[in-house]
Structure 1
């Protein structure tokens, strides 16, 4: 699987921007990703805080996933 050029922290901050009222089109244009990618991130990281994402990453590394 290809490694993302964005960290989990960057992804979560982008999702939080939209939750705070920013338009999705503005955020994806600024990051240079497609709308599909944004909504894929939202399904995976939606509702997480940065500390939660770090814990998720550590768990994935331990389980090999």
Structure 2
């Protein structure tokens, strides 16, 4: 997945600018983002603080690692079942 050029802290700062009363179009133009990107960020990070965003990133990384472990264990289990079925 493509890495964003904005960190979570920067994204939250952009969202706070708009919440402070600045027009959405002006915020987007100032930071060089599209309005679609802004609203996608708002749906994901709206109402979060910087510490919450960091925790969210950590949880997403941990979830990704656990999914990989589960996939590996399921593959091992399937191979063992296949081997045991051939023996009989």
State the TM-score, normalizing by the size of structure 2: 0.70
Q: CA RMSD in A?
A: 1.1
Tell me what 1:55 maps to. 55
- Where 1:64 maps in the other structure, the secondary structure is helix
- Distance in 1, Cα, partners of 2:26 & 2:9: 18
Q: Which has the higher helix share?
A: 2
Aligned residue pairs, count: 65
- Distance in 2, Cα, partners of 1:62 & 1:2: 19
- Distance in 1, Cα, partners of 2:34 & 2:18: 15
Stretches of 4+ aligned residues off by more than 4 angstroms: none
Larger RCO (alpha carbons 8 Å, 6+ apart): 1
Which structure would you say has the larger Rg?
Answer: 2
Tell me what 2:25 maps to. 25
State the TM-score, normalizing by the size of structure 1: 0.93
- Distance in 2, Cα, partners of 1:18 & 1:50: 16
- Where 2:44 maps in the other structure, the secondary structure is helix
- Distance in 1, Cα, partners of 2:18 & 2:33: 14
- Which stretches in structure 2 are left out of the alignment for 5+ residues? 66-88
Task: Tell me how far 1:58 sits from its aligned partner.
Answer: 0.7
